[in-house]
Structure 1
Amino acid sequence: MTLPAQFKKENSENIFIYHYVEEMIADYTKYVKETFDDSDITVAELPFLIRIRFSEETTQKELVELFRVSEGYTAKLLRKFEEKGYLTRCEDPTNRRKKIVELTSRGIEKTDELIELINGWEIKVTKNMSDEEVKTLKSLLFKVVEP
């Protein structure tokens, strides 16, 4: 990662967490654009498939709330993923207005590729850390985001 000049080891405790997150997102986005060549999915769309993969059961409405995007955008994106054969949407038997979103086998294959991509980036950015430090980092990040 190439850091801005204000990022110095001697003042690392005084840098806002926001700035660290911003740099990590920028580096991840650059990594994905350089590594992942797929005309089917944009960088902005990747998180949707990954979240669906790791959700036991999710609905279209939950995705709207999770990503804080419009219902129209989510419906359009899910329709695109359906057309590509990555997922299906079906009515919830207990509430016909709800649409349950599930990956197909092709969607699982696609998310396997995405998981490899994410893992590659994690290995890249933690290469100077021990396994224990990575474990500690993930534990601390969980504390940051837990409700």
Structure 2
Amino acid sequence: MKSPEEIVHIKALGEAVSVVRDAMRHFVQRRLREQNIDLTFEMLQVINTLLERGEINQQEIANLLNKDKTSITYLLDNLTKRGLVVRVEDPNDRRNKIIHMTEAGRRVTDLLIPIIHELHAQVSKGLSADYIKNVTRSLMVIKSNLEEE
């Protein structure tokens, strides 16, 4: 059983994680608006995943972003309408679609990369690489603890 003081700290941790995620989302959305880029934070996450991982299937994107497949379908539909990605049938499994970035998608990444770099710079300002590694490691332990059944 956790002490009342420990419970207060655990609650504060949950609130802090939520506040930081929201602050990151707002930071990115502000930059996207300032540059008249018609994308949401979630669309940027998908594009960034494709940029980092290359052509992957929808389920892999969902797993990497910790989102359900339905949410990813909606995001991919919107990115497809904007001409930034296409779904291509997987030659090994016709039920599966591989997501490819289009030329327009690659061009928009040229606008997005500076925003991502600015976000990383802002997030890490005043923090050492070791500190960031330790916080990240701690958060991953918490995630693992929550996934235990």
Please say whether Structure 1 and Structure 2 have the same fold, judged by a TM-score greater than 0.5.
Answer: yes
Report how many aligned residue pairs link the two structures: 129
Q: Which has the higher helix share?
A: 2
- 1:145 maps to 140
2:117 aligns with 119
Partner of 2:17: 21
Does 2:68 correspond to 1:69?
A: yes
> 1:139 deviation in Å?
2.6
Question: What is the percent sequence identity of the aligned residues?
Answer: 23
1:77 offset after TM fit, Å? 2.5
How far off is 1:119 after superposition?
1.4
User: What is the Cα deviation at residue 120 of structure 1?
Assistant: 0.9
**Using a 3 Å threshold, how does the CA distance of structure 1 residues 109 and 39 change in structure 2: closer, same or farther?**
closer
Change (3 A) 1:95 1:108: same
* Paired residues for 1:1-147 under 5 Å: 14=9, 16-37=12-33, 38=36, 40-66=38-64, 67-71=66-70, 73-129=71-127, 133=128, 135-143=129-137, 144-145=139-140
Deviation at 1:86, TM superposition (A): 0.8
Cα displacement (A) at 1:63: 2.7
Distance 1:35 1:56, change over 3 A: closer
What root-mean-square deviation, in Å, do the aligned CA atoms of Structure 1 and Structure 2 show?
2.6
CA distance 1:30–1:56, shift in 2 (3 Å): closer
Task: Return the alpha-carbon distance in structure 1 between the equivalents of residues 69 and 92 of structure 2.
Answer: 24
One-letter code of the match for 1:46?
A: L
TM-score of the aligned structures, taking structure 1 as reference length: 0.70
Tell me which moved more, 17-26 or 83-92: 17-26
Q: Which structure 2 segments of 5+ residues have no match?
A: 1-8, 145-149
